[in-house]
């Protein structure tokens, strides 16, 4: 009887240990997914957003990107290689076109091509309202690359998949 009691206690300790490890030390995949959650949070915008919040969000966006980031977007003339500061500028200009903006990511599939290089295939949906009152609802499939620099996963490439090529 005593043995069973000790076994149950030992089992509970092991379970708590595993749970604590998972919570305190999230897997690399979770860390990568967290970057997308942060990007979504920083890109979002509501009509009441003041300058202080805007500056904070733009700063937040810049911290998610590496020194350089490559954008590949076939429909627009946005494709190119940009520095972190240029990415912040693009995000700032993009956000000013909207009074309401919501960027959500779905179906994230994370794979590690190399030790410190993650590839994420995902669906991005952008909804909102432009400052001219037009409703926007765009969905695209993306391939993103993130590099691990000083223990942080930073965006290094965004490619919008061209499904329908005119």
- Binding site residues, another protein, CB under 8 A: 106-107, 122-124, 139-141, 161, 163-166
- Of 1 and 163, CB closest to another protein: 163
What's the min distance (Å) between Cβ of 157 and another protein? Answer: 18
User: Which CB atom, from 29 or from 86, has the smaller least distance to another protein?
Assistant: 29
Longest dimension (CA), the chain: 74
Considering beta carbons, is residue 129 or 140 the nearer one to another protein?
140
CB of 75 to another protein, least distance (A): 10
Using the minimum distance from each CB to another protein, give the nearer residue, 154 or 160.
160
Closest to 158 (Cα-Cα) out of 80, 92, 42, 101 = 80
**Residue 78 per-residue DSSP state:** T
Q: State the minimum distance, in angstroms, from the CB of residue 107 to another protein.
A: 4
* Shortest Å, Cβ 76 to another protein: 12
- CA distance between the termini of the chain: 74
The DSSP letter of residue 164 is S
Alpha helices in 46-147 (DSSP H): 51-63, 84-96
Query: Which DSSP helix (H) or strand (E) runs through 65?
Result: strand 65-72
Residue 139 CB, nearest distance to another protein (Å)? 5
Query: Interior CA angle at 132 toward 159 and 46, to 5°?
Result: 70
* Consecutive H or E run containing 38: helix 28-43
User: What is the C-alpha separation between 152 and 146, in angstroms, rounded?
Assistant: 9
Q: Which is nearer to another protein, 5 or 165 (CB)?
A: 165
């Amino acid at each position: 009887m005593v043995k069973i009691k000790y076994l149950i206690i030992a089992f509970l300790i092991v379970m708590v240990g595993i749970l604590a490890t998972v919570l305190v030390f999230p897997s690399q995949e979770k860390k990568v997914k967290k970057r997308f959650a942060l990007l979504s949070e920083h890109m979002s915008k509501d009509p009441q957003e003041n300058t202080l919040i805007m500056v904070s969000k733009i700063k937040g966006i810049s911290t998610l990107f590496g020194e350089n980031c490559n954008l590949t977007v076939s429909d627009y003339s946005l494709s190119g290689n940009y520095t972190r500061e240029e990415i912040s500028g693009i995000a700032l200009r993009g956000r000013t076109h909207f009074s309401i903006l919501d960027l959500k990511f779905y179906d994230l599939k994370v794979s590690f091509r190399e030790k410190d290089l993650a590839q994420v295939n995902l669906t991005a949906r952008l909804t909102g309202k432009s400052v001219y009152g037009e409703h926007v609802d765009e969905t695209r499939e993306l391939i993103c690359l993130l590099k691990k620099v000083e223990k942080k996963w930073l965006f290094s490439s965004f490619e919008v998949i061209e499904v329908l090529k005119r």
